[in-house]
Amino acid sequence: MSEFVKPITTSLIDAAYGCEFISRTALAEIYYLNTQYDFSAQSCNILAFFLMVLHHKMDTGDVCVKLEEKPIKDSVLQWISLLEEKPSLTDEQQIFLEFAKDFFAKKFSDLSDTLKTIAAIGSADDDKPLVISLNRLYLRRYFNYERKVAAFISGQSKKEIPESMLLKAQDILNLLFGKNNDGTDVNWQKVAAALPVFSRFCVISGGPGTGKTTTVLRILLLLRALYGLQPKIMLAAPTGKAASRMAQSIGLQLQNTDLDDKSSFTSVARELAQKCGFDFSELLASIPRNASTVHSLLKVIVHKVTPRYNEQYPLDCDILVVDEVSMVDLSLFYKIIAALKDGATLIMLGDKDQLCSVESGAVLGDICAKLSDSDTNAVSESTLRLLSKLSGYRAEKLLEEGALSDYTVLLKHSWRFKDVQGIGALATAVNAAPLAVKENGHHQITDILKEYQDNGLAYLRVDQKNLVKGSSFMRSLIKDVISSKSRYSYKIYLDYLCSLDFCVDSDTTANEIFRRMDEFRILCSNHNLILGDRNLNALIESEIKNRFMFGNKEFFPGKIVLITKNDAGLNVYNGDVGFVAYDGADEKKALKVFIPSEKYGILKVSPIFLKHYESGFAMTVHKSQGSEYKNVLIALSPKDSPILTKELVYTAVTRAKEWVTVVALEDVLLQACARKVQRQSGLAERIERKEIFSLAKKRVCISTEISSYSKKIPATDYSIFI
């Protein structure tokens, strides 16, 4: 390596370390590459800026960065503006500013041409640390994730199903979902259930109340009827809260033992058992009641890329159902498909319109990208023919709504909001924005907020003068949240705890407190500013302490606690929500944090052992994913920002089952609804191109027996793709 390169490059790296907005991971990578490759000073500095931009984009959810002038130079211009707005700069910041201005001034085509000549950047099939593909710059690992996910989806061949089994599946679908009547709308649940009959990968997307859980339970019955009781089924979701909700939803349907209700799960299960010669009790027992997090299912190891279950050691699972897939990032999605054994069926459920995962990627959105009302080419003729045959609907009728592809079915009809029309109308309008503008110039969203006032919706219209510290509006809002009988109040929760002297003596009492606590939640777009969860939590806590004279303690009876990091020693996990109360079963009646656990029932944890938590009266919309509440109050930041999107507003609205209260500046609300999340990746394009590449095979020995549902081959001869 040329000696003159290092001082020049080091000065840029050192200068960048003085800028808090630059990724430290990017700087470490630049330093490493500078020790491994012989760069000129100019090439290394150009590579440094591209890498810093790439990591900046990945930190906001992108998988890659497009090699176009706008995304690259916009990021650099943002850094220049941040530095120029500072009243004074350190020496390092001044040096970085000069480097950034020099980079920004260069012709982009020259920068791009230089980048493509750098030795650290390789092609798709080599092992260089960086890749340029589809005119996008990737880190090698994420390029491999994306390419393998696309290859998995594109390479899914249809199962070879004999005609007799197709006819049997058709009869069972009619039993599970009813026979079709001429002139009726398509039952998309029935169509979705037909897909896994011949496909080992399928995605069922739909909003709240569209029947995703109902559909998947009937799919499991269908596959049981076709393949017997041997297939091993597992259920999973990205977070503990989502897994708990999944198990709860399934449990509620299994608990409905009213056999006179012909549409109930148990009723159709009994009829199916009689038809197929199964023991009814055994059939019900074969449906799993518990769901785990994806991380625990795969045995993800902290600080290790590869989990315990992977390409070499796959899960002993024949049918894997994953819920809330919108929360699954690209890396985790790849780990899921990598852990599947040969012949396994993967069924994924989610709402494509919800917020994306926190980490890089928008996999569900990319998979569903072809679902468009005007796109009739999203589904192949062979898939359409099979779906038509199994569901009994004409192919032309299935194409009318454009709600399916070769591996995806969209459920559109929601039953949840039939009695509370305001929430459904608002959610639909938010999804349709920014096109939702009426001819009279009024925005449809504001019209809906007015039209459905007191019918599932309440809009607390505010202006900037209301949203200042100590304003009468803020004082009134916090008092209402604590003590009013309005929909947006914790009164029913706090009053019940007070009636118990804030003392909990049994799990039954704790569960009743949880029920009341979860009747309401405040969902915020941001952590900071006056309507951020940090400020609202502080104000609410102060009001409660004053009202009940609890003093100025960190933990006090009635405090809602949100766990922010997994702690396996305590058996508490990120996203768990509990409350603080006195332990009535303890002689000393010590103050404990009560946290629900699927595995252990009600956990009682001493506050001194909790390390990673925050107040949970208000939480971010991201934290609320996978949860549902009777009533929610949505608090949008008064300052517009890129994180305010229609996906965020839609996700917040659809957390509510009965009532939504919105606190927002009207212009900020409308700007948020007009902004769509645009995450950079090449996944949708690779799936569209049906990109398949030659995958090396590894033969591995699997200790678990492969059931008859998978290919009947010896475990020692089992091979999977890497």
| Number of other CB atoms surrounding residue 70 within 10 Å | 10
**What are the start-end ranges of the E strands in 281-364?**
292-293, 319-322, 345-350
Prior bond of 208 cis (ω within 30°): no
Cα distances (angstroms) measured from residue 690 to each of 24, 553, 685: 36, 59, 8
Counting runs of H as helices and runs of E as strands, what totals does the chain give?
A: 28, 23
pLDDT value at residue 239? 86
Residue ranges of the chain assigned to CATH 3.40.50.300: 153-410, 421-674
Q: How far apart are CA 254 and CA 250, in angstroms?
A: 6
Cα torsion at 499, 503, 509, 514 (round to 10°)? 90
Reported residue count of the chain is 722
- Kind of pairing between the strands at 65-66 and 719-721: unpaired
- DSSP for 533-572 reads HHHHHHHHHHHHHHHHT--S-SS-TT-EEEE-S-BTTTTB
Binding site, residues? 206-213
pLDDT (tens digit, 9 = 90+) per residue, 270-326?
999 998 888 898 988 899 989 999 999 999 887 788 899 999 999 999 999 999 999
DSSP 339: T
pLDDT value at residue 438? 53
Does 421-674 carry CATH code 3.40.50.300?
Answer: yes
CATH number for the region 153-410 comes to 3.40.50.300
pTM for this one?
Answer: 0.88
Residue 41 identity: A
**Whether the Cβ atoms of residue 345 and residue 220 lie closer than 8 Å to each other:** no
Residues of the chain short of pLDDT 50, as ranges, are: 1-9, 373, 376, 695-722
Pull the structure tokens for residue 220: 């499991």
**Whether the Cβ atoms of residue 63 and residue 142 lie closer than 8 Å to each other:** yes
Binding site for ATP, residues? 206-213
DSSP 626: T
Q: How far apart are CA 191 and CA 391, in angstroms?
A: 6
**Whether the Cβ atoms of residue 366 and residue 687 lie closer than 8 Å to each other:** yes
**Residue 700, Cβ density class (10 Å: 0-12 exposed, 13-18 middle, ≥19 buried):** middle
pLDDT value at residue 373? 46
Residue ranges in 85-211 assigned as alpha helix (H)? 91-105, 108-116, 140-154, 163-177, 188-198
H or E segment and range at residue 594: strand 591-597
